Structure 1
């Protein structure tokens, strides 16, 4: 990877490990995290006192009906334009993917078995159903080509970190 500029965009379903990977990259490779879901979560907590996937997806849909790609655009406004080491913690939609490709990001897909993802989501208090699984934020990018594919079925952060280090080299 070009050390002058590291631009990574993470894609994957809820609970696959995207946020954990973003944190590891930020800490160990001095990347700035672009938190695409932070604002929608803030709105859900502020107005509904909940981060349930149903509420998050309804807020997401409402804003995307006004402007597609709004969450990535809003998150990028929080990042200094001169930042050349950046990780987008969650691509969810085709517009996000196209933006990342146009702007030289390496696209990483994080895959994980459904049961493991659901366990992770439950452990952080987030209810998730098979209906949520069918939402466009979970499946828009299924099948799109990626630069890196990481399988994260283990519950070992050490193993995940080793995989990331091997990819970065």
Structure 2
């Protein structure tokens, strides 16, 4: 994709019914992240915003929301998607095995909830909710996962840009 194509990714046709589209403004994206492992999770948000900016969406186009944990993300995503203010929602969390086999259930519930929000609202929802097999609180894992979240933030931004561009080419829902 050349720079011209990347810059045009975020232009919204005036035929869209959203307020942002009617004004010709760039799309707004809601970023919802869990507080647990904040230092690692924030790496994804920073890289997400930097990548979107590289693709032509100003950093001011992203509104950040923080929730206590991953389990609270789907409800916030639902409210944000239904608000009509956002053309996309991104969820981010690090769900780790704390020794009580429930992290798989939490991660599954969050991902299922996010998919439901996306399908029910018609607003694309992107997940940077990761559940590593092994995570320990030592410096090596902290560093590894912080770097991994940087990459995942960039990938989420690219997916968001491509999906918004793709959705613009589809017929409007009735």
Q: TM-score range by the shorter chain?
A: 0.3 to 0.5
TM-score, normalization by structure 2: 0.35
Q: Which protein, 1 or 2, shows the higher relative CO under an 8 Å CA cutoff with sep ≥ 6? A: 1
